[in-house]
Structure 1
Amino acid sequence: MERDNVLVVGSITADVTAFAERLPRPGETVLGTDFTLVLGGKGANQAVAAARFGAPTSMVGCVGEDLFADLTRDSLAGHGVRTQWVRQVPGPTGVAHIRVDRHGQNDIVITPLANAALDEAQVDTAIAALAEVSSVLLLQLEVRPEITAHAAEAGRRAGLTVVLDPAPAAELPDGIWPAVDVVTPNESEAALLTGIEVSDVDSAHRAAKWFLDRGVGRAIITLGDKGAVLADAHGAKFFEPIEVAVVDTTAAGDAFTGTFGAALAAGHDTVEAVELAMAAGALAVTKAGASPSLPNRAELDALLG
């Protein structure tokens, strides 16, 4: 049986985004220029990115009993993500409040709500059911850290390639790192986790080594418009940035990690997967919103020529 599926364990939110010329200072009100309400959450975004790449993708997460439950589940399904393992729980669905300025920079407050109900039993049941057809497990940190750690260990035991996007950065038990095959932090996340200020390629190499020293197989430090660094036990490689006009940086990291995981599941080697992921991240920042900005395979191929 071909193991070309991607399994995503993580968060599902409704993204409420306000666009304005600039972000308000503390205590200030500014007039906005636009507003969107769409599917979001790092888990859901990565699932959509993987599905739009072409990988059969299943989402494991929780939604509430409010109006946002149908919005999020229907949106996942509409993008081709399988939602059999999305559980409805009492209370509201998770919400992310996002503000974006005219330069595409944003700030985000995520309220997990239903995402906090994701538990070990739900994770174990999904992995047991899908491990035979799946090769990649994508994880993030918008659910409880202990659930992410449990999923990593369960995924490793099931023979999956475990990819962790440690965002938003949070303190994790040291025991999680040997269960992680690939970690994909950006500069700020790498800095918070390692204590190394990441601002350029050299500091990204040092941060990557921190992860490798703790048992991670490969570390990819994304540097935004400065490219990315891939490091493993055999050395390091720098990837040049792809220049695009930035509209909104929301979900750029999710586009990267979701596409990277899907490319691995499709049989690409790590370098090829990073190149495709770089293209996905670049395309994502050229459109507003989270899930609406995630590119499909044809768009990636067009960008890469």
Structure 2
Amino acid sequence: MPARPAPVLVVGSATVDVTSFSQRLPQPGETLLGDSFSLVMGGKGANQAVAAARAGAQARFVGCVGEDMFAPVVRDGLGEAGVDLTHLRTVPGQTGVAHIRVDGAGENDIVMVPLANSALSTAQIDEALDDDAGVLLTQLETPLPETLHAIRAAHEQGLTVVLDPAPAAELDPAIWPLLDVVTPNETEAALLTGMPVRDREGAVRAGRWFLARGTRAALITLAGAGSVLVTAQEVHEIPPHPVTVVDSTAAGDAFAGFLAAALADGEDLPSAVRRAGAAGALAVTRRGASPSIPSADEAQRMLDEEVPA
């Protein structure tokens, strides 16, 4: 009987996503009539935990919710996806909220208000790291000192450390050698490296910037143009999956969660990136954040359909 994959530990944010859909976004001072509205669980951390669970991993989430009416939305959303909630802490105050606007082309803008997410603690992280996880997946929507603590502690314990550096922020240079994989999109890569990232060549240059600072692998995602994986040995160009974009919210989270799950299952990095790319592509074809994240079978079918007969 094959060994069960090592768990994926996701340290990150949890919110309720309040999303409006309209043909275009309003100009400053303008009021528009929208087409529809949704209120669901979100937050980069929670979305990525759901994605890892739907990909088949043992996903464990470390984060915080408040004591308000929104907390059950987060707990139920994570629990229904099969995420372990042992390290989800309830704190005084309000659960985090993200206000999302999506236009007719599927593009979005987001204002995220952390609220309970600001209460994440190092003690909470250390307690979770006592478990037998194989991969740490984290982002930058929670307090930076605690996020960096999680990265350092996970590295010291021998976990594979994956950082989705979103929203992009200036980081202590000492953090780069602690990362096995960093996964910025083109905008985040440009902000972190200080160099333009508009195409494959720019992505390769940015990837080598991360490697020069000690990161083992850099994966630069280029939205509809696919992604570029840069390691010390080679550069892999992963082509995009042709899909019709409905809503790009949480596509990056689907990508990150599936990537972490594949690594925890022992897949090599290029193969894990291809699986993650299929999940991200499927997510943009559906409305919403966590509701758009596909299952492992759906991602596998997309990969199978692209294999020549």
TM-score (norm 1): 0.98
Q: How far apart in 2 are the matches of 1:150 and 1:217?
A: 19
Match of 1:246 in 2: 245
Q: How far apart in 1 are the matches of 2:215 and 2:16?
A: 32
Moved more, 169-178 or 287-296: 169-178
Q: Tell me the alpha carbon deviations over residues 154-208 of structure 1, each in whole angstroms, 9 at most, x when there is no partner.
A: 0011110000000010111111111111000000010111111110000000111
User: Is the contact between residue 16 and residue 98 of structure 2 (CA under 8 Å) also seen in structure 1?
Assistant: yes
RMSD: 0.9
Deviation at 1:79, TM superposition (A): 0.6
Q: How does 1:149-160 map to 2 (within 5 A)?
A: 149-160=148-159
Deviation at 1:147, TM superposition (A): 1.1
Q: How does 1:1-305 map to 2 (within 5 A)?
A: 4-128=6-130, 130=131, 132=132, 134-305=133-304
Deviation at 1:3, TM superposition (A): 5.3
Q: Secondary structure at the match of 1:15?
A: strand
Q: How far apart in 2 are the matches of 1:76 and 1:288?
A: 18
User: Is the contact between residue 221 and residue 227 of structure 2 (CA under 8 Å) also seen in structure 1?
Assistant: yes
Q: Secondary structure at the match of 1:67?
A: coil
Q: Secondary structure at the match of 1:32?
A: coil
Structure 2: unaligned runs, 5 residues or longer: 305-309
2:8 maps to amino acid: V
Deviation at 1:298, TM superposition (A): 0.7
Q: Tell me the alpha carbon deviations over residues 279-299 of structure 1, each in whole angstroms, 9 at most, x when there is no partner.
A: 001000000000000011110
1:99 maps to amino acid: R
Deviation at 1:301, TM superposition (A): 1.1
Match of 2:307 in 1: none
Q: How far apart in 2 are the matches of 1:204 and 1:196?
A: 9
Q: Which runs of 4+ in 1 moved over 2 A?
A: none
Q: How far apart in 1 are the matches of 2:4 and 2:31?
A: 54
Q: Tell me the alpha carbon deviations over residues 95-145 of structure 1, each in whole angstroms, 9 at most, x when there is no partner.
A: 0000000100000000000000001111011101x1x2x211001000011
Q: How far apart in 2 are the matches of 1:3 and 1:22?
A: 44
Structure 1: unaligned runs, 5 residues or longer: none
1:234 maps to amino acid: Q
User: Is the contact between residue 5 and residue 58 of structure 2 (CA under 8 Å) also seen in structure 1?
Assistant: no
Q: How far apart in 1 are the matches of 2:5 and 2:52?
A: 15
1:286 maps to amino acid: T
Deviation at 1:36, TM superposition (A): 0.4
1:64 maps to amino acid: G
User: Is the contact between residue 5 and residue 266 of structure 2 (CA under 8 Å) also seen in structure 1?
Assistant: no
2:17 maps to amino acid: D
1:78 maps to amino acid: E
Deviation at 1:304, TM superposition (A): 1.0
Q: How far apart in 2 are the matches of 1:16 and 1:175?
A: 36
Deviation at 1:18, TM superposition (A): 0.3
Aligned length in residues: 302
Q: How far apart in 1 are the matches of 2:40 and 2:265?
A: 28
2:227 maps to amino acid: A
Q: Secondary structure at the match of 1:211?
A: helix
Q: Secondary structure at the match of 1:196?
A: coil
Q: Tell me the alpha carbon deviations over residues 190-241 of structure 1, each in whole angstroms, 9 at most, x when there is no partner.
A: 0111111110000000111111111111000000001100011112110111
Q: Secondary structure at the match of 2:35?
A: strand
1:268 maps to amino acid: E
